[in-house]
Amino acid sequence: MKLSPYQNLLLLSLAAHYPDRPKQSEFDNKQRNPLCEAGYIELEQVGRPKLVGLTDKGWSYLAEHRDLVFSNSKLSGTSLAALHTRLHDFFHRSGHAFADLFRETANPDPLSKAEETIPAAIRRAYLVLTDNRLHIDVRLQHLKAHLQAFDPATLDYCLMGLVMAGLAQVRQIDDSLAIDERDRATSLEVGGTTRHLFRLIS
């Protein structure tokens, strides 16, 4: 299915506003309904209105397509405003300046940890494990194996910070027989429940 410029913009708007979900009435139903039928978005009944959210397929589409064409509409302005807010918050947490996004660095070393913040290192390690894809579960033991340069307690604090900020999720391994000693040693405790898997969602 080839998406229209408006449909590209609709998906970007949902990503920029995440975790908030807008009402379905905010979008053109002729453009929205095919996205729902194709599995890029989902509708959730919350009270009387139905709210629209991205599915894993929708997130993957945005991650995998670099040169998307977007329509010029009222939705463009609200999407850009929301995206600017998300970028501002991201750079504030990561310790980088907003202008760093536009600067070119001479001979950059993507594996250098000299000035890398822990959240940035977590993201880099996660993307290495998932081949640059979001919304994929990785074992915490594998993620932490890439982050041994950092203090374990501080690393756990930053991992939980990403979860509390809505940028990541942690969950249990369903099959208890699949849990080994390294899983137990590297797990996180959330609400009295031991979590062994980490998923970056934004």
Give the residue from 169, 171, 11 showing the smallest Cα distance to 75. Answer: 11
Structure tokens at 51: 């709210």
What is the helix (H) or strand (E) element at residue 58, kind and residue range? helix 56-64
Q: Which pTM was predicted?
A: 0.50
Domain boundaries, the chain: 5-86, 118-200
Count Cβ atoms within 10 A of the Cβ of residue 189 and give its class: 0-12 exposed, 13-18 middle, 19 or more buried.
exposed
Tell whether the model's pLDDT for residue 181 goes beyond 60.
yes
Among 12-16, 36-40, 81-85, 169-173, which stretch is predicted with the lowest mean pLDDT? 81-85
Residue 141 has pLDDT above 90, yes or no: yes
Which has the closest alpha carbon to 127: 110, 109, 108, 148? 110
d(CA 36, CA 19): 18
**Cβ 24 vs Cβ 50: under 8 Å:** yes
What does the chain come to in residues?
202
Domain boundaries 118-200, corresponding CATH code: 1.10.10
Architecture (CATH level 2) of domain 5-86: Orthogonal Bundle (1.10)
Q: Could you give the CA distance from residue 197 to residue 171 in angstroms, rounded to a whole number?
A: 5
- Residue 107 forms beta bridges with which residues? none
Give per-residue pLDDT as tens, 31-85: 899 999 999 999 888 777 889 988 888 888 888 887 888 888 888 888 888 888 8
At 168, list the tokens: 């990541």
Which pLDDT score, from 0 to 100, does residue 15 have?
87
* Residue 115 in this model has a pLDDT that exceeds 60: no
Structure tokens belonging to residue 158: 């930053």
